[in-house]
Amino acid sequence: MLGYTLRRILQMIPVLLGATFIIYALTFLMPGDPIAALTGERPLPEATVAQIRQAYHLDDPFFVQYGNYILGVFRGDFGIDFFGRPVLDLILERLPVTFALAVTAWGLKLVIGLVIGVYGGLRAGKAADHFALVFTVLFMGIPGFVIALGGQTYFGVHLGWVDPAGIRAGWPMAFILPALVMALEAAAGLARLTRTSLVDVLRAEYLRTAKAKGLSPQRIIWGHALRNAMIPVVTYLGLSLAGMLGGAVIIEAIFNLPGIGGLMVASINNKEGTVVVGIATLLVLVYLVFNLLVDLTYGLIDPRVRI
Amino acid sequence: MSTTITTISTSDGADAVDRAPSPMRGAHRRWWLRPRFAISGTIVLLMILMAAFPQIFTGFGPGPTENCDILLTNQPPSAAHIFGIDIQGCDYYTNIIYGARASILVGIVVSAIAFGIAAVVGAIAGYFGGWIDALISRICDMAFGLPFILAAIVVLQLFGQRNIWTVIFALALFSWPGGVRFMRSSVLEVRNREYVQAAKLLGASNGRIIKKHIVPNAITPLLVLQTLGVGGMISAEAGLTFIGIGLTPPAVSWGLQLAAARDYIDAAPHLLIFPAIFLTVTVLGFVLFGEALRDEFDPKGK
Amino acid sequence: MTQLLEVRDLRVQFSTAQGTATAINGVNLSLEHGQSLGILGESGSGKSVTARTIMGLLDMPPAKINGGEILLEGEDLLTATAKRRRQLTGPVMSMVFQDALSALNPVHPVGRQIGELYRVHRGYSRKAAKAAAIEMMDRVRIPAAASRVNDYPHQFSGGMRQRIVIAMALALDPQLLIADEPTTALDVTVQAQILELLKEQQAENNMGLILITHDISVVREVTDQVAVMYAGRIVEQGPTAHVLGDPRHPYTLGLSQSVANEDLKGRRLPAIEGSPPDLLALPRGCSFANRCPLADEQCSSSAPPLESVGAGRTSACFHSGKVASNVAYSN
């Protein structure tokens, strides 16, 4: 187990380096002079510009810049922005909002997706199943931001149940609508996976064995079918939490939540490369860590997988 | 020691117990006649037609930015302008029809590029294995580690003015890793089949085996997968455009229309409703079409 | 004394996309305590469906029981409530499945799967159930049972897994054990051990055993009685040695010939020509007529009933007399 974990962590390193390099290269190859963007209308004196360029290592060769950057990241130093604030602080300040949004959405999705999936799976081929299928197709098909707009207009503006945007109401009221939008979109996939997995398991030979043991239908489903059906679902669930952090960007913009997404868009507009790269690096890290955690828990629910 | 003298025919009651409801059930009915295919196929066809020849739908009248009357803005639907008039004083119906092109083009071209890359790279990784496979798989891991929308945003910001091709470039750049992995595993499955082994023994070259045997047999599932992705790409384009990172004016697109309409939710709700309906129907049409295709050609992929 | 099991005129159909398939078409069976009955037939003959119908394991739909009675110690299972059936399933009758790997739940330790029977039917505590499971694993001779009770199915060999399935079936000392192709998935040497175990447990517990197989030698080795099934019907029935040694139905004759000739290495198997009838459209007459060398007009116009052809023997053939004289080359 320890050996496996260490090996997996070692494997993560090239992936992390590669992914951050891609983002780093894309960001710092952006056209436009960051200092010009910083100073706006009034140009700075030559000497000051040179000083700034030196302070931010802007004149070093590209690979040296990247190398310095990534070494800093491993020490917990994500660099500073043009106002001298540590990037990590900026991100950590915004992270709770995005995290709250992602976790709320994930929780809602978990409940909605599992309930619909299990319900459809147990009644495969019947009316309830068809209803569940229509639901999933609908929410897979309607673009998330259209649902968001609709919800915002109806519940926020029209009915006034929640604030249409902003974070004034705090958790949960400010988060409930955006999280629900994200959850509905994502729950469709989860519901389908759950349904398919459960239908497969219900056809399995070992359920016939359970029936031949004279077990009650409840015991067969709870004791024998669901746990087996959850094996592929758990993997998906773990990875999707990381994915929700990334997917929160557009929703944050629509609902004007001051999370990572907003920071990202603002930083791109201000050509704050270090912040953009910092956010991307952090998200990649989160994704990789979740990936690892999912693989480690996999062994707990499926004894056939040895770790 | 077997007394199973003849193999039983497939229409066998005992087997019927074990058999899942067959995805090929009713195969005698022609697949394109089925309602799901007919409906989603009609939507897809209509939208493609709209994207290619918007004039057909606007009665060969003026284009989206002509005949605008800046004094007459945000008018609700009327007999002359069935979808009303937008902020610039242009006929909204014409604008929406012309908006189809951006969505359809982005959706189909991005998926086609992803399909092409996935087919070639996935086939190479799966067929050759070894360090080539390891390298390609690691690159896929890296691309997978980046949240798709985030990566697209970063790329899009490289451009000040963004037209359809810029958006296609940004989305296509990170759209392939899923397809590559998928293709790779299909190829791995096909690679060890007997007819491929036989071709190898007969001295066929690698290129020939890939072209003649591997790709044709592994490509259908990938094609289906990418068809399913078209709706997602259309969604992504509209979403990015909506938050101001996708297409920029003077492009005409549903995402831009929705973004513009947002400030007038109370005054002119029709500006929001019509593009939202078109976008939703289009994405739903493509998703349904992809699903119908998948059920038909790749029952395992369910 | 009542029969342990009596099946009367059982009929089962399946609705498929192509139409309605008749899987069992009027089957009669009876079994006494301590007796062993082999049901012999090709795949599709209805033998497995018969077993599953008795055990109540059919998926309905697509299956439908169109008629008949299944009396377990005089109690009709087809009219019993679901709850009553569950009470009988396990303690009174139980089943051994063909493929032990897929018959066992991969995510539960084998001890828990065996112990579950004690917990559900006898209300044992977790600890007592585990102890009983170990005892049961000992009884089917799984080495070091106490240390393997927490292992998962995939950690056992094929033969050991089948022993676990048997331990599960025998856990509550049932009166009736149905074994559906219990050795088909196993190596030849392991097959013999498993059959030995089944035979021995049957004798020790005075259990009724129904052994379903397509393998004549298994039937010959284990069972007292045999019923040969073809296209959803029993075509011949009687004491195993007599039926297999001196068949009175051309189909049984064909089966026994194919085995006899396999012993003569180097010669081609004289497979029975033709294929079984389409279950979606069974012929009006004898189902075997299209493959039968003795068939005549009578055979294709009406179906032969099971008639007595000697002490305790029945055969469903208009020409059962002629079959006997045809045995010349069957060794």
User: Do A44 and A156 fall within a single domain?
Assistant: no
Helix (H, G, I), strand (E, B) or coil at A63: helix
Whether the CB of A284 is below 8 Å from some CB of chain B: the reply is yes
Name residues whose C-beta falls within 8 Å of residue B91's C-beta, 6 or more positions apart in sequence: B64, B67, B68, B81, B83, B85
ipTM here: 0.80
Whether the CB of C102 is below 8 Å from some CB of chain A: the reply is yes
CA B226, CA B223: separation in Å to the nearest integer?
A: 5
Structure confidence by residue, pLDDT tens digits, A105-160: 999 999 998 998 888 888 877 788 888 888 888 887 788 778 888 887 777 777 77
Residues of chain A found within 8 Å of residue B157, distances taken between Cβ atoms: 30, 268-269
CB-CB under 8 Å, C16 with B16: yes
Residue C191 · residue C183 · CB < 8 Å: yes
How, if at all, do strands C63-72 and C75-76 pair? antiparallel
What is the average pLDDT across B53-70?
A: 73
> Does residue A125 belong to any structural domain of this protein?
yes
CB-CB under 8 Å, C105 with A214: no
> Does residue A110 belong to any structural domain of this protein?
yes
pLDDT > 80? residue B269 = no
> Does residue A197 belong to any structural domain of this protein?
yes
Whether the CB of A288 is below 8 Å from some CB of chain B: the reply is yes
Closest CA to B196 of B181, B206, B183: B206
Residues of chain A found within 8 Å of residue B147, distances taken between Cβ atoms: 243, 245-247, 249, 283, 287
- The sign of the torsion formed by the CA atoms of B92, B96, B99, B103 equals positive
CB-CB under 8 Å, B13 with C14: yes
Name residues whose C-beta falls within 8 Å of residue B204's C-beta, 6 or more positions apart in sequence: B212
Partner residue facing B6 (CB), from C58, C262, C275? C275
Closest CA to C106 of B139, A304, B222, A63: A304
Structure confidence by residue, pLDDT tens digits, C121-162: 888 888 888 888 998 888 888 888 888 888 888 888 888 888
What is the DSSP code string of B280-300? HHHHHHHHHHHHHHHHHH-GG
Partner residue facing A212 (CB), from C95, C104, C152? C95
* Identity at A63, one-letter amino acid code: F
User: Do A101 and A159 fall within a single domain?
Assistant: yes
pLDDT band at C201 (very low <50, low <70, confident <90, very high): confident
Provide the residue range defining the domain that includes A145: 87-270
User: Do A131 and A180 fall within a single domain?
Assistant: yes
Which of 95-154 (B) contact A at CB < 8 A? 138-139, 141-151, 153-154
pLDDT > 60? residue C273 = yes
Closest CA to C237 of C50, C29, C24: C29
> Does residue A284 belong to any structural domain of this protein?
no
Shortest distance, CA B7 to any CA of chain C (angstroms): 7
User: Do A70 and A92 fall within a single domain?
Assistant: no
- The pTM of this model reads 0.76
C-beta neighbour count of B268 within 10 angstroms: 20
Tokens of A114: 């599992």
User: Do A132 and A186 fall within a single domain?
Assistant: yes
What pLDDT is stored for residue B272 in this prediction?
82
Residue A40 · residue A32 · CB < 8 Å: no
* Identity at B93, one-letter amino acid code: Y
CB-CB under 8 Å, C165 with A302: no
What is the DSSP code string of C224-254? SEEEEEETTEEEEEEEHHHHHHS-SSHHHHH
Whether the CB of A245 is below 8 Å from some CB of chain B: the reply is yes
What pLDDT is stored for residue A188 in this prediction?
84
Helix (H, G, I), strand (E, B) or coil at C274: coil
Structure confidence by residue, pLDDT tens digits, B164-209: 888 899 889 888 888 888 888 888 888 777 887 888 788 778 888 8
- Going from N- to C-terminal start, the domains of chain C cover 249-331
pLDDT > 90? residue B109 = yes
CB-CB under 8 Å, A250 with B242: yes
CB-CB under 8 Å, B15 with C275: no
Partner residue facing A204 (CB), from C102, C117, C121? C102
How, if at all, do strands C307-308 and C314-315 pair? antiparallel
Give B126-183 as a 3 state SS string. Answer: HHHCHHHHHHHHHHHHHHHHCCHHHHHHHHHCCCCCCCHHHHHHHHHHCCCHHHHHHH
Structure confidence by residue, pLDDT tens digits, A274-303: 888 888 888 888 888 887 887 777 777 777
CB-CB under 8 Å, A214 with C88: yes
User: Do A139 and A65 fall within a single domain?
Assistant: no
> Does residue A277 belong to any structural domain of this protein?
no
- Complete domains list, chain B, with CATH: 88-301 (1.10.3720.10)
* Identity at C211, one-letter amino acid code: L
User: Do A221 and A184 fall within a single domain?
Assistant: yes
Mean pLDDT value across chain A: 80
CA C96, CA B17: separation in Å to the nearest integer?
A: 18
Higher per-residue confidence, C329 vs C53: C53
Partner residue facing B12 (CB), from C13, C258, C279? C279
pLDDT > 60? residue A31 = no
User: Do A158 and A259 fall within a single domain?
Assistant: yes
Residues of chain B found within 8 Å of residue A253, distances taken between Cβ atoms: 243-244
Residues of chain B found within 8 Å of residue A149, distances taken between Cβ atoms: 258, 262, 272, 276
Task: Pick the residue of C105, C108, C170 with the most A CBs within 10 A to test the interface with A by mutation.
Answer: C105
User: Do A259 and A122 fall within a single domain?
Assistant: yes
C-beta neighbour count of C119 within 10 angstroms: 18
Partner residue facing B13 (CB), from C21, C40, C59? C21
pLDDT cut 70: percent of chain C above it: 92
| Number of independent structural domains in chain A | 2
Partner residue facing B138 (CB), from A14, A27, A146? A14
DSSP A276: H
Of A74, A102, A129, which residue sits at a domain end?
A: A74
User: Do A114 and A253 fall within a single domain?
Assistant: yes
Residues of chain C found within 8 Å of residue A204, distances taken between Cβ atoms: 102
Whether the CB of C107 is below 8 Å from some CB of chain A: the reply is yes
Residues of chain B found within 8 Å of residue A287, distances taken between Cβ atoms: 144-145, 147
pLDDT > 80? residue A34 = no
CATH of the domain at A164: 1.10.3720.10
Partner residue facing B150 (CB), from A142, A253, A280? A280
Nearest CA in chain B to A277: B154
Whether the CB of C168 is below 8 Å from some CB of chain A: the reply is yes
User: Do A247 and A108 fall within a single domain?
Assistant: yes
CB-CB under 8 Å, C104 with A215: no
CB-CB under 8 Å, A250 with B154: no
User: Do A101 and A224 fall within a single domain?
Assistant: yes
> Does residue A279 belong to any structural domain of this protein?
no
